[in-house]
Amino acid sequence: MIPVTERIRQSMVSLHMARALETLDQTLSRLEKGEISAIEAIDELLAEELNLREGRRIGVALRTARLMPVKTLESFDFSFQPSVDRHRIMALAELEFIKRAEVLHFLGPPGTGKSHLATAIGVAAVRAGRSVYRCSLADMIEALTKAEREGRLTEKIRFYARASLLIVDEIGYLPITSGGANLFFQLVNARYEKGAMILTSNRGFAEWGEIFGDPVVATALLDRLLHHAVVVQIEGASYRLRHHTDLIPEHTRAHASITPPPPPKRRGRPLKNGGAHQLNG
């Protein structure tokens, strides 16, 4: 007759419970010594296995979401950026804005931590079981342009619209053609009031006509991106260069703030939740 412990091992192998199998002998030893009860032993074995599988799930999801290397809110130096209200950022990391399909804007000069905060909230969303995808605006438009050329635009827009949270980084760093702006508008329109977004930009909204090469398209974009929005403005010097301030020219150390204009007036429908609201942290 096969001993009970051996049958347990065989069952764990069949169920692919690798981590529980690794800790089985140690757990049984503690059980025999009376350090834990039988119920606690079962609980520990299942917890070890669950933690391993959850860690694997998160790792795969982070790579799929393009959130590597991982950034966290715990690793963000809030003391260096006093314009960022830690409590407000932590409140956003509770992810209620995703449920409301809102758009979160991080605005500020280059290097002030916009991408770090956007990525960190994306990481928090992945850990909470949400689907996330992150890319730069330039990469997104390049992918949409290629898809349009190959007759796969609808499929590609559906791909970008699928995630619960879409993070679009680096708006304003590179100029966009009018064709690219139209493609981005199609994506934004597909996600409008259906899926949450995080956008980072080093340019104020008043400059989006210049960024996208078409004031009409820029206005249409802002019409949707500011309807249900949270705007977080970051001021200050470069976060990445915080240990090398002596190497930065004096005239570039202080950055003018990027003040967003009021959201564009919408026709035919009232604003929900008061429209865009700004978090001046």
DSSP string, the chain: ---HHHHHHHHHHHTT-HHHHHHHHHHHHHHHTTSS-HHHHHHHHHHHHHHHHHHHHHHHHHHHTT-PSP--STTS-TTT-TTS-HHHHHHHTT-HHHHTT-EEEEE-STTSSHHHHHHHHHHHHHHTT--EEEEEHHHHHHHHHHHHHTT-HHHHHHHHHHSSEEEEEEETSS---HHHHHHHHHHHHHHTTTSEEEEEESS-GGGHHHHHT-HHHHHHHHHHHTTTEEEEE--SS-STTTT-GGGS-HHHHS----PPPPPPPPSSSPPSTTS-EEE--
User: Mean pLDDT over all residues of the chain?
Assistant: 87
Boundaries of every domain in the chain: 4-64, 86-279
In this predicted structure, the answer to whether residue 199 has a pLDDT above a threshold of 80 is yes
Structure confidence at residue 171 (pLDDT): 96
pLDDT over threshold 70, residue 49: yes
Q: Which amino acid is at 223?
A: D
How far apart CA 16 and CA 5 sit, in angstroms, is 16
CA 23 to CA 44: how far, in whole Å? 9
| 239 compared with 227, residue with greater pLDDT | 227
Q: Given 3.40.50.2300, 3.40.50.720, 3.90.25.10, 3.40.50.300, which CATH number is that of 86-279?
A: 3.40.50.300
pLDDT tens, position by position, 136-163: 999 999 999 999 999 999 999 999 999 9
Q: How far is CA 251 from CA 21, 44, 147, 233, 255, in A?
A: 62, 59, 43, 21, 9
Long-range contacts of 202-207 (CB under 8 A, 24+ apart): 202/107, 202/108, 202/109, 202/110, 202/114, 202/170, 202/171, 202/172, 202/173, 202/258, 203/107, 203/171, 203/172, 203/258, 204/107, 204/258, 204/259, 204/260, 204/261, 205/260, 205/261, 206/260, 206/261, 207/172
- Asked if the model's pLDDT at residue 267 lies above 50, the reply is no
pLDDT score at 236: 73
Q: Which two tokens stand for residue 116?
A: 């770090």
- Stretch 234-241: mean pLDDT, rounded? 69
Predicted local confidence at residue 198, as pLDDT: 98
Task: Name the strands in the sheet holding 277-279, side by side, starting at the edge strand that comes first in the sequence.
Answer: 132-136, 165-171, 196-201, 103-107, 229-233, 277-279
User: Using an 8 Å Cβ cutoff, are 163 and 131 in contact?
Assistant: yes
Q: Is the pLDDT of residue 237 over 90?
A: no
Residue type, 127: R
Binned at pLDDT 50, 70 and 90, residue 19 comes out as very high
Q: What is the pLDDT of residue 269?
A: 46
Mean pLDDT of 249-264: 46
